[in-house]
């Protein structure tokens, strides 16, 4: 049975040791370079687990507030995309170096962080109760849901999203059945270097590449 991951993201306030005003003005332009690791385990009899795969990717932000995401290390070369979210141009660029093309779409406004004025008192209390500290940054914990082919949706684990790092999921642990196997997927932030300016080449979009309007994911869906 095929499963699709649905991650329920809460609206985050940076609570521990940081004011929300700081997170909105300083944190979104505070540079960093990080490595995100995703490990997939196969769960067998007696809940014994064996490692099926380990993938890593690079996440970064420069002092201009631009976000960079590399392709996962396990992605085949022909499918690899480097993604740049540019809050100044209002565009997200998916760069396909293998085929010398770039997909251009509207930037996800969610990465700017929540609007404090839109939150009620109970909402603020709820967010603060789900906020925890992971290393140098705060994140808000939310449930992870999986949906089966028959439409049944159920909670499968937990995730934690940091708006200090641009709505980056820095921790996640959930289970799902895929291809007849009981899998456990664990995402973790294994290396975070704050106030480190990333490689400027990561944010360059080659002018000689063919430009395609829209998301690369939309194109792939259309090919199915």
What integer pLDDT is reported at residue 217 of this predicted model?
72
What integer pLDDT is reported at residue 116 of this predicted model?
54
What integer pLDDT is reported at residue 123 of this predicted model?
82
What integer pLDDT is reported at residue 221 of this predicted model?
44
Close Cβ partners of 206 (under 8 Å, ≥ 6 residues apart):
95, 100, 102
Residue reference for tokens 């849901």: 145
Architecture of domain 4-223: Clam (2.50)
What integer pLDDT is reported at residue 27 of this predicted model?
57
Among candidate residues 88, 38, 81, 36, the one with its CA nearest the CA of residue 62: 88
The domain segmentation of the chain, as residue ranges, is 4-223
What integer pLDDT is reported at residue 114 of this predicted model?
54
What integer pLDDT is reported at residue 218 of this predicted model?
65
Pairing of strands 210-213, 101-106: parallel
What integer pLDDT is reported at residue 113 of this predicted model?
52
What integer pLDDT is reported at residue 117 of this predicted model?
64
pLDDT tens, position by position, for the chain (224 residues)? 333 443 333 333 333 333 333 344 445 679 999 999 999 999 988 889 999 999 999 999 999 999 999 999 999 988 899 999 998 888 999 999 999 999 999 876 444 555 556 777 888 788 888 999 988 899 999 999 988 777 888 999 999 999 889 889 999 999 998 888 999 999 999 999 999 999 999 999 999 999 999 988 765 544 44
Instruction: Give start and end residues of each alpha helix (H) in the chain.
Output: 20-25, 121-129, 216-223
């Amino acid at each position: 049975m095929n499963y699709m991951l649905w991650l329920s993201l809460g609206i985050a306030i940076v609570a521990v040791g940081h004011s929300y005003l700081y997170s909105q003005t300083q944190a979104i332009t505070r540079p960093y370079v990080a490595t995100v690791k995703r490990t997939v385990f196969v769960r067998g009899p007696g809940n014994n687990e064996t490692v099926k795969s380990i993938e890593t990717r690079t996440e970064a932000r420069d002092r201009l507030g631009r976000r960079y995401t590399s392709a996962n290390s396990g992605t085949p070369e022909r499918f690899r995309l480097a993604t740049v979210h540019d809050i100044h141009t209002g565009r997200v660029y998916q760069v396909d170096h293998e085929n010398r093309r770039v997909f251009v779409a509207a930037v996800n406004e969610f990465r700017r962080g929540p609007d404090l004025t839109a939150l009620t008192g109970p909402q603020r209390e709820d967010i603060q109760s789900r906020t925890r500290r992971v290393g140098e940054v705060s994140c808000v914990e939310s449930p992870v849901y999986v949906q089966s082919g028959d439409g049944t949706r159920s909670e499968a684990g937990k995730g934690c999203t940091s708006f200090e790092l641009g709505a980056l999921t820095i921790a996640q642990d959930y289970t799902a059945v895929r291809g007849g196997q009981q899998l456990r997927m664990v995402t973790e932030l294994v290396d975070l270097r704050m106030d480190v300016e990333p490689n400027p080449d990561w944010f360059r979009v080659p002018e000689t590449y063919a430009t395609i309007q829209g998301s690369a994911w939309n194109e792939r869906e259309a090919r199915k």
